[in-house]
Amino acid sequence: MSRSFPMPQFFVSPDRIRSLFTEAMSQMYRAEVPQYGTLIELVADVNAGCLEKDPDLRDRLARAGELERIDVERHGAIRLGTADELFTIRRLFAVMGMQPVGYYDLSVAGVPVHSTSFRPVDEVALNFNPFRVFTSLLRLELIEDEELRGEAEAILAKRRIYTPRAVALIERHEQNGGLTEAEATEFVAEALETFRWHGEATVSADTYKRLHDAHRLIADVVSFKGPHINHLTPRTLDIDAVQARMPERGITPKAVIEGPPRRHCDILLRQTSFKALEETIAFSGDDGAILGTHTARFGEIEQRGVALTAKGRALYDQLLASVRGEVQVGAGGAKAGAYDDELAARFKALPDSWDELRRADLAFFRYSATPAGIAATVGSTLPGDPEALIAKGYLAFTPIVYEDFLPVSAAGIFQSNLGTDQQQNYATRSNRDAFEAALGATVQDELALYAERQAASLDSALAALGLAGLPLKTVA
């Protein structure tokens, strides 16, 4: 007698779930914020023009495995109110293969939050879909008004930002080690509800005003039933071109591009945006809904360059601080040109050559054995120095793209798009321990991740040349 056995359940990869979620999020945000669709079209046009005009750029992106990801690349941002919300969002993003990387204290720039970035961490997953979500936790202890702080805590304690089914599917993933195709599709739909915009505030107009007067971001976090996604950012290959052409599409950009200046060899991250929408909301009240307005959601664009080492980052921070300390950009952008000029002048101290950046140990690179190098291994002895191998064309290097964020730039975008130049002088009270306790995990060190990728690529390349174990030399 034959016996029947249940068919095994095949789990969907986290990469696929992440891609499904990214596409669903993009469709939702396009419907909610029509200018986002206009922005996506503009970025696509600029990127296509860049690749057509610069075949070297196309070849470099192709060699690094990055060419296919450009069009799907997005990052979003959300702001959470409680430790429990942060703990669960970590579990939700884990379903999509996203891990917390980096700790960012934005209070130093007048924004009462601290943050991390949830993203994939290995090279294959990043090139498949590098979706990132910059996730901030409101620091209620920075609200000086004790009565208002207690009221905000009570409001946040009552809300539930995840659907019961989303939580159940997270638990199933944790228990079973994955989700089936049907479960993954359902998970994406349920998880999306956490990020959806709701035009109804959970507080009265008076409470909203008091939260708003403390800080606009506090009102944004506390006053709604969920942490609506406040921007979804495409990656451009020429942010200056996008900035210049935004007015042609009826979009007004912020005064200056955040981050480093325009360079031949892009570094870290440059960002710009258009002003947050002023949206009608209904406040709760005993006598029925009262209408008001709220600004939170906006459009943002980014251009990513090479990841800098600790040495390179220290120099970047020093140069940026020197400019920001001397040249202030007003709300009207009257000094934007002066700021850009001064930024470019100061940053001449940072080499604008891939080889100089690499040799000075200022940036991270991915190494690979070239066809000529592999061919030379047959019947000849290769030099035992990586620099000599590079000089002969046997060893190639490409920049490792920066996958993370810059706290000063993030704060600049936040402040600009809250419709204010408001700068509270919060005391510098970084509290990474409290953040990680709420998260239920240790955030990964982004510099260590880049260093591991560089070292692994060099080991693999040298092994392919029969020269495993050679150290990489840098200039002083």
Q: How high is the pLDDT of residue 336? A: 63
Using alpha carbons, list the distances in angstroms from residue 400 to 229, 308, 474.
28, 9, 17
- In which band, very low, low, confident or very high, does the pLDDT at 5 lie, cut at 50, 70 and 90? very low
Assess if residue 418 is contained within a domain.
yes
Burial of 10 from C-beta contacts in 10 A (0-12 / 13-18 / 19+):
exposed
* Amino acid at residue number 238: D
pLDDT greater at residue 175 or residue 326: 175
- In which band, very low, low, confident or very high, does the pLDDT at 383 lie, cut at 50, 70 and 90? confident
Helix 83-95 with 181-195: angle, nearest 10 deg: 150
| Claim to verify: residue 348 and residue 395 sit in the same structural domain | no
Given a cut of 90, is residue 471 above it in pLDDT? Answer: no
Assess if residue 2 is contained within a domain.
no
| Claim to verify: residue 109 and residue 255 sit in the same structural domain | yes
Spell out the alpha helix ranges (H) of 325-471.
336-346, 354-359, 371-376, 386-391, 407-417, 432-439, 446-464
pLDDT greater at residue 288 or residue 397: 397
Given a cut of 50, is residue 104 above it in pLDDT? Answer: yes
Decide: helix, strand or coil at residue 369. Answer: strand
What CATH number does residue 433 fall under?
Answer: 3.10.180.80
Q: Say which residues have a Cβ less than 8 Å from residue 453's Cβ, sequence separation at least 6.
A: 123, 364, 366, 400
Q: Are 347 and 319 in contact (CB under 8 A)?
A: yes
| Claim to verify: residue 436 and residue 450 sit in the same structural domain | no
Spell out the alpha helix ranges (H) of 177-309.
181-195, 205-214, 216-222, 239-245
Domain count, the chain: 3
Percent of the chain exceeding pLDDT 70 equals 88
Decide: helix, strand or coil at residue 69. Answer: helix
By C-alpha distance, which of 97, 100, 92 is closest to 171?
92
The tens digit of pLDDT for each residue in 56-67 reads 889 888 887 888
Which residue in the block uniquely carries the two structure tokens 């056995």? 5
The tens digit of pLDDT for each residue in 411-461 reads 555 555 555 444 444 445 668 999 999 999 999 999 999 999 999 999 999
Most confident of 253-257, 339-343, 348-352: 348-352
The tens digit of pLDDT for each residue in 201-244 reads 888 888 989 998 888 889 889 999 999 888 889 999 999 999 99
The tens digit of pLDDT for each residue in 120-133 reads 999 999 989 999 99
| Claim to verify: residue 320 and residue 430 sit in the same structural domain | no
Token digits of residue 406: 């810059």
| Claim to verify: residue 62 and residue 134 sit in the same structural domain | yes
Percent of the chain exceeding pLDDT 90 equals 54
Which residue in the block uniquely carries the two structure tokens 């981050």? 259
Assess if residue 9 is contained within a domain.
no
Assess if residue 225 is contained within a domain.
yes
Q: Give CA–CA dist 357/399, Å, rounded.
A: 10
| Claim to verify: residue 74 and residue 208 sit in the same structural domain | yes
Assess if residue 374 is contained within a domain.
yes
| Claim to verify: residue 242 and residue 345 sit in the same structural domain | no
- In which band, very low, low, confident or very high, does the pLDDT at 332 lie, cut at 50, 70 and 90? very low
| Residue 244 φ/ψ, nearest 5 degrees | -70, -30
| Claim to verify: residue 421 and residue 340 sit in the same structural domain | no
| Claim to verify: residue 414 and residue 455 sit in the same structural domain | no
- What average pLDDT does this structure show over 348-373? 95
- Please state, rounded to an integer, the average pLDDT across all residues of the chain: 86
Token digits of residue 99: 């891990």
Range of the domain at 169: 14-306+403-444
Assess if residue 5 is contained within a domain.
no
| Claim to verify: residue 339 and residue 245 sit in the same structural domain | no
- What average pLDDT does this structure show over 360-373? 95
- Find the helix or strand (DSSP H, E) in which 399 lies: strand 395-399
DSSP class of 217 = H
- What average pLDDT does this structure show over 155-169? 96
| Claim to verify: residue 245 and residue 132 sit in the same structural domain | yes
Using alpha carbons, list the distances in angstroms from residue 223 to 148, 180, 290, 297, 334.
13, 36, 14, 14, 34
Assess if residue 360 is contained within a domain.
no
| Claim to verify: residue 301 and residue 313 sit in the same structural domain | no
Assess if residue 26 is contained within a domain.
yes
Q: Are 336 and 329 in contact (CB under 8 A)?
A: yes
